[in-house]
Amino acid sequence: MKNIFAVSSIVIKELYRRKDFYVLFILTVLICLVMASVNIFNDKGVIRYLKEICLLLVWIASLVIAITTTARQIPAERENRTLFPLLAKPLTRTELLLGKFLGCWLASGLTLLCFYVFFGLLAGSREHHWPVVNYLQAGTLHWVMLGVVIAMTLLGSLVFAAPSSNATICFVIATGILIMGRHLNKVALHLPEPRRGILYSIYYAIPHFELFDMRDLIVHNWPPIAWQVCGLATLYALAYAAVFLIAACVVFRRRALN
């Protein structure tokens, strides 16, 4: 376990010493503050739109940070040749991958914390209402979902040669599932066989990221969901992350390093 934590600590250091996070955070903050300063049509309910846009930006930024950070981990180790002195030490390839996963996941968690704290302050300052439990549930499930995205991107970084192509593919898949995932079964209903069967298979095979999307809960100030549901969603995400990580470990163990 010490090896996994050692590797993850390097990933976290990398995140806060690079500019990516700061650029996206400052950009999100600026856009949200500019929008918050404008009261369109003197509508008191405009805060809902502000919250919706701000959360959308948080989701986009978190996906970009999680995917780009993960996509470059193994390729950068190869390119800079740091993989060799690392694996020449008593560290297995599985430990390295798990360390990278943990580091990326924890780093994404830290960025999410910053984004949600900012969002909470912004929304609270306008609404004078602090639904902390809602934020906690939304943030936790968001983070858990990012775990699946990170595991998927880690597998992609071993399959695709270029980090940029891997990042693009993973971003398209993640946003595609978020937008279309919940509708696939409805589309499948209207299709003839064998396309119906194929679409249903895809529907049941993909990780349904939309289950982790609690934005409506915050935007409309709905009551928090049951913690058991959060727990089940977490287990669902962990199962998918485990599948992707096992596949990544198998690919990495078979892959020649040179």
Q: Is 13 in the site for another protein (CB under 8 A)?
A: yes
How far from the centroid of its chain's Cα atoms is residue 182's Cα? 18
Least distance between another protein and beta carbon 248 (Å): 18
d(CA 139, CA 88): 38
Binding to another protein (CB under 8 A) within 51-90 occurs at: 80-82, 84-90
Which residues have a Cβ under 8 Å from the Cβ of 80 and sit 6 or more positions away? none
Site size with another protein, rule: CB under 8 A: 25
C-beta of residue 28 within 8 angstroms of C-beta of residue 116: no
C-beta of residue 75 within 8 angstroms of C-beta of residue 158: no
Least distance between another protein and beta carbon 210 (Å): 35
Q: Which is nearer to another protein, 3 or 185 (CB)?
A: 3
Q: Which is nearer to another protein, 40 or 256 (CB)?
A: 256
**Given the structure tokens 């913690």, which residue do they identify?**
227
* Residue choice 6, 64, 114, 169 for contact with another protein (CB under 8 A): 6
C-beta of residue 109 within 8 angstroms of C-beta of residue 119: no
Q: Is 110 in the site for another protein (CB under 8 A)?
A: no
Which residues have a Cβ under 8 Å from the Cβ of 163 and sit 6 or more positions away? 71, 72, 75, 76, 157
Q: Which is nearer to another protein, 85 or 223 (CB)?
A: 85
Q: Which stretch binds another protein (CB under 8 A): 1-9, 33-41, 45-53, 199-207?
A: 1-9
Q: Which is nearer to another protein, 128 or 254 (CB)?
A: 254
Q: Is 92 in the site for another protein (CB under 8 A)?
A: yes
* Residue choice 12, 35, 46, 91 for contact with another protein (CB under 8 A): 91
d(CA 41, CA 91): 61
Q: Is 17 in the site for another protein (CB under 8 A)?
A: yes
| Encoded tokens for 113 | 């914390």
Which residues have a Cβ under 8 Å from the Cβ of 159 and sit 6 or more positions away? 166, 251
Least distance between another protein and beta carbon 222 (Å): 42
Which residues have a Cβ under 8 Å from the Cβ of 205 and sit 6 or more positions away? none
Binding site for another protein (CB under 8 A): 2-3, 5-6, 9-10, 13-14, 17-18, 80-82, 84-92, 256-258
